[in-house]
């Protein structure tokens, strides 16, 4: 090795040309488009756009006037609301861009019906559940969202529901108005008698609607992102004790506002109030279910302004009927609008609003401006910082880097799974060893894939070349890069890639290198990604399927013992590799398995006397 050179996450790189996206001509250098309220000094990255006529933007749901004005300065704007799926598919072939909120489903059929003309879909809000991202990417369509403008509005609505629920505001209001209506129906002929009936009916029910105080109560914020953080700040101002659960939130950011990060089980077991702010992912879908409701403190109160799908709504009704959950205040639902005969909606201890989290005048205008700027930028050929899918990469570049792209993502996934829960990932270093000069190797795609591996498993965000830096920055993760320049032939783009996570605890102590960081390293051999180093231990296993890492006393029979346990459980072993410090000392065994072993099988492995620690890692 001869020399090394470092660069930060945002560092500029040598030009990289992209193939065209339909009628768009993409060319570097590129300017990254940021919303007005986020603009600082933007680094130059790209663009040339060739388009014969003024583009057409279809706005399928209501958008603020400020956003519409921005769009009209650049494009023909067609505001057509409440379109049926069939009507949308008919119109879309005449449009270059589509802007929606949460109520319009942008399905594969929409992209297929566009005939390749649709260049960008703008989601005026955060979630992209209603957009088929896979189909968008397949059809060369950029998808952008507006993730920042409605943060405060959503947090304020969460607090509004929290306080209204605690003091029975909605129920008391409905009770009084029901009594007033009864009075007006009969006031002409029976004014005295009806007044007596109203009092007897108890519509002025002060005793029934006695609430609970917030001061001194424990609020668990489930998901400590932008909205969750703002809810925590406001709840602290109300005198609440605030804890939070988010396995990848930095502890120092939470501590800075007086919030303690705890495990999921501790959060739901100790909270008087739960406020949900996690994304809807396979891991969080129906995460509040019968099993987890049973772990909660009796009388807990729940607020949800995140995504309806994170709650099993039938289980919530059962928990309300059983008294485990005293009240719930919900702004979002699994199906929107929910069925009129929904037991949850009709429940007397449930307060509901029709997805109003972002519905303030200020937020609506902010979202409108943010999404309009992103869409116009994309139509001009600029890569928006809020893009959630990637442009096409030249075939020749992708062909050469393809195995390294896979290696980068899997090293990121391995590294983050080695982090002990509660340790916030905030400092990551990626080291590339190569005989090529820095100008001959563009690593942006590789860095993006490491970021994808680190973040995507625990987030609803799709990480790619376009949004990797933005996503990492938003989550407080700083990714630095280092080049180690090797002597030799530059025919192969890379000799190895190493990923290090600093200042965290590891659930597998052997993954900690001499530098004190979690360290994993890999190479590409015969076109296949391999894991070649864990901590200080040299291994050699193909990064396919899943991996079990075991630290053991180096002694005869260990491979056979572990292999027999897995064989008895019908778990297929694809490979094994052992790296050791010295004979009869400590060793690390890496075992590739096609299926995830049962808990009992993993326990049997852990119970082997010579096994000092082990961890299962899903790739």
Question: Does the annotation mark 336 as catalytic?
Answer: yes
Q: Give the Cα separation of 409 and 402 in Å (integer).
A: 11
Q: Give the Cα separation of 248 and 422 in Å (integer).
A: 7
Question: 71: Cβ–Cβ under 8 A, 6 or more apart, which residues?
Answer: 57, 59, 77, 99, 372, 375, 376
What is the CB neighbour count within 10 angstroms for residue 376?
Answer: 23
How many Cα atoms within 13 Å fall on the side-chain side of residue 291?
4
3-state secondary structure string, 323-343? CCEEEEEECCCCCCCCCCCCH
Cis amide prior to 89 (ω within 30 degrees): no
Residues of the chain by 3-state class (helix, strand, coil), percent to 5: 35, 25, 40
Question: Does the annotation mark 307 as catalytic?
Answer: yes
Q: Give the Cα separation of 133 and 113 in Å (integer).
A: 16
Of 13, 277, 301, 355, the active-site residue reads: 355
CA dist 422 → 26, 36, 56, 249, 455 (Å): 42, 34, 48, 8, 15
SS3 234: helix
The answer to whether the beta carbons of residues 504 and 417 sit under 8 Å apart is no
Q: Give the Cα separation of 299 and 286 in Å (integer).
A: 20
Q: Give the Cα separation of 154 and 360 in Å (integer).
A: 9
If 0-12 CB within 10 Å is exposed, 13-18 middle and 19+ buried, where does residue 323 land? exposed
Residue 56's nearest CA partner among 103, 101, 96 is 96
In our burial notation (b when 16+ CB lie closer than 10 A, e otherwise), range 149-175 reads bbbbbbbbbbbbbbebbbbbbbbbeeb
The H or E element that residue 300 is part of is: strand 300-304
The answer to whether the beta carbons of residues 371 and 122 sit under 8 Å apart is yes
Q: Give the Cα separation of 388 and 385 in Å (integer).
A: 9
Q: Are strands 518-525 and 528-534 parallel, antiparallel or unpaired?
A: antiparallel
3-state secondary structure string, 25-52? CCCCCEECECCHHHCCCCCECECCCCCC
Question: 198: Cβ–Cβ under 8 A, 6 or more apart, which residues?
Answer: 179, 182, 183, 204
Strand residues in 371-495 grouped as ranges (E) = 427-434, 478-485
Of 101, 277, 307, 604, the active-site residue reads: 307
Question: 35: Cβ–Cβ under 8 A, 6 or more apart, which residues?
Answer: 146, 148, 149, 369, 370, 373, 374, 386
Q: Give the Cα separation of 113 and 610 in Å (integer).
A: 62
Q: Which residues are catalytic?
A: 307, 336, 355
């Amino acid at each position: 090795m001869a020399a090394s050179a470092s660069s930060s996450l945002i560092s500029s790189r040598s030009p990289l040309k992209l193939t065209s996206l339909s009628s768009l001509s993409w060319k570097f250098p590129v300017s990254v488009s940021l919303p007005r309220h986020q603009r600082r000094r933007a680094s130059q990255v790209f663009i040339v756009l060739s388009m014969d006529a003024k583009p057409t933007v279809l706005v399928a749901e209501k958008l603020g006037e400020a956003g519409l004005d921005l769009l009209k300065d650049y494009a023909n704007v067609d505001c057509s609301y409440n379109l049926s799926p069939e009507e949308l598919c008919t119109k879309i072939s005449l449009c270059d861009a589509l802007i929606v909120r949460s109520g319009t489903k942008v399905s594969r059929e929409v992209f297929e019906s566009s005939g390749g003309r649709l260049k960008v879909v703008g989601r005026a809000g955060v979630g992209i559940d209603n957009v088929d991202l896979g189909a968008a990417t397949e059809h060369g369509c950029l998808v952008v969202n507006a993730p920042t403008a409605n943060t405060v509005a959503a947090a304020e609505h969460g607090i509004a529901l929290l306080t209204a629920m605690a003091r029975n505001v909605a129920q008391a209001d409905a009770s009084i108005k029901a009594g007033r209506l009864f009075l007006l129906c009969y006031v002409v002929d029976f004014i005295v008698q009806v007044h007596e009936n109203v009092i007897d009916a108890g519509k002025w029910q002060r005793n029934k609607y006695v609430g609970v105080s917030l001061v001194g109560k424990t609020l668990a914020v489930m998901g400590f992102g932008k909205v969750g953080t703002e809810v925590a700040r406001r709840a602290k101002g109300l005198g609440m004790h605030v804890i939070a659960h988010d396995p990848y939130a930095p502890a120092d950011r939470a501590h800075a506002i007086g919030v303690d990060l705890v495990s999921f089980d501790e959060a739901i077991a100790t909270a008087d109030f739960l406020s949900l702010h996690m994304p809807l992912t396979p891991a969080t879908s129906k995460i509040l279910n019968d099993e987890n409701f049973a772990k909660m403190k009796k009388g807990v109160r729940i607020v949800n302004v995140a995504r309806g799908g994170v709650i099993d709504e039938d289980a919530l009704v059962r928990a309300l009927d059983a008294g485990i959950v005293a009240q719930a205040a919900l702004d979002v639902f699994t199906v929107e609008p929910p069925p009129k005969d929904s037991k949850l909606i009709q429940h007397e201890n449930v307060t509901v609003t029709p997805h109003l989290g972002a519905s303030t005048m200020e937020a609506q205008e902010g979202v409108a401006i943010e999404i309009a700027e992103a869409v116009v930028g994309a139509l001009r050929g600029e890569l928006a910082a809020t893009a959630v899918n990637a442009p096409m990469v030249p075939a020749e570049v992708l062909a050469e880097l393809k195995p390294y792209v896979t290696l980068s993502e899997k090293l990121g996934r391995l590294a983050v799974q080695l982090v002990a829960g509660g340790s916030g990932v905030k400092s990551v270093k990626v080291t590339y060893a190569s005989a090529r000069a820095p100008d001959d190797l563009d690593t942006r795609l590789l860095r993006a894939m490491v970021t994808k591996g680190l973040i995507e498993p625990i987030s609803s965000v799709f990480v790619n070349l376009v949004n990797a830096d933005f996503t990492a920055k938003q989550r407080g993760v700083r990714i630095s890069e280092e080049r180690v320049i090797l002597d030799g032939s530059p025919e192969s783009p890379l000799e190895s890639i190493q990923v290090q996570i600093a200042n965290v605890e590891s659930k597998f102590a052997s993954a900690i290198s001499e530098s004190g960081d979690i360290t994993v390293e890999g190479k590409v051999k015969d076109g296949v990604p391999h894991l070649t180093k864990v901590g200080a231990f040299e291994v050699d296993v193909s990064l396919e399927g899943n991996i079990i890492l075991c630290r053991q006393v180096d002694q005869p029979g260990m491979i056979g013992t572990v292999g027999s346990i897995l064989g008895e459980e019908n778990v297929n072993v694809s490979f094994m590799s052992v790296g050791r410090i010295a004979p009869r000392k400590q060793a690390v065994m890496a075992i590739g398995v096609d299926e995830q072993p049962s808990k009992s099988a993993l326990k049997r492995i852990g119970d082997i006397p010579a096994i000092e620690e082990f961890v299962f890692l899903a790739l």
